[in-house]
Amino acid sequence: MHCVRAFDAISRANYGSSMSRPDLNLLVTLDVLLAEGSVARAARRLRLSPSAMSRALARVREATGDPLLVRAGRALVPTPRAFELREHVSRLVQDGEAALRPVGKADLKKLTRTFTLRTSDGFVENFGPDLIARIGREAPGVRLRFVQKPDKESAPLREGIVDLETGVVERTTSPELRTQALFRDRFVGVVRLGHALGKGRITPERYLAGRHVSVSRQGIQQEQIDGALERLA
């Protein structure tokens, strides 16, 4: 009995270390790629940049061990393995969507759940009070839990540690994440009362003639404004 138990323990350990759970989000990426037969069209359909879609295709290729789409002239054509997977993957995605689709519209008044939001202190300070007030009116059983965002990694969102994240979409953002634009930020210049730049139209020449203080949170020596001025030179 001791030998059998030891063998079972070793088998479970080896199985757990050699078998990793596949990223099921790649099924949606693969389904769209096979349906569109184009990285550019798949990117538009999934609302991704072409570079993000190319990275997603690389991940799918690594997962399946097949190139799936190969170049023939200017077009991409599916491999035999891609033909085999097309209908099967499409059914899997449809079945998954059907299984996760709610029966009816959720009753927010009866919803009881805690949602974890990973965001910056500035977002909480500016939008937190109004958001909490609205949640209190429309979904009184819902609690919001705000956690700090020390970096721009999207791993906590992909792994289900957080439910929602706010921030700037970067190149490191995982391509399978669903994003929605909230607003666009802009630079603001501040001058003292009575400063010469406070009157009249600010031209690049007038702007450059002034003395400036630039604050960089990341320690970057050349900011976006510098790049814009270089392009005007």
Quote the domain boundaries for residue 54. Answer: 2-100
Per-residue pLDDT, 8: 43
Residue 162 contacts residue 115 (beta carbons within 8 Å) = no
46 in a domain, yes or no? yes
Average pLDDT, the chain: 80
For the entire predicted model, the pTM comes to 0.42
User: How many domains would you assign to the chain?
Assistant: 1
**What are residue 78's DSSP bridge partners?**
69
201 in a domain, yes or no? no
Per-residue pLDDT, 134: 94
29 in a domain, yes or no? yes
Per-residue pLDDT, 184: 79
33 in a domain, yes or no? yes
As a whole number, mean pLDDT of residues 114-134 equals: 91
60 in a domain, yes or no? yes
19 in a domain, yes or no? yes
Domain of 82: which CATH number?
1.10.10.10
* The residue to which tokens 């789409």 are assigned: 69
Integer Cα distance of 100 and 147 in angstroms: 27
* The residue to which tokens 């399978």 are assigned: 176
Secondary structure tally for the chain: helices H, strands E: 9, 5
Amino acid (one-letter) located at 81: R
Residue 149 in this model has a pLDDT that exceeds 50: yes
215 in a domain, yes or no? no
| pLDDT digits 0-9 by tens, 55-64 | 999 999 998 8
Integer Cα distance of 145 and 163 in angstroms: 10
95 in a domain, yes or no? yes
Predicted confidence band of residue 142 (pLDDT cuts 50, 70, 90)? very high
Integer Cα distance of 116 and 107 in angstroms: 20
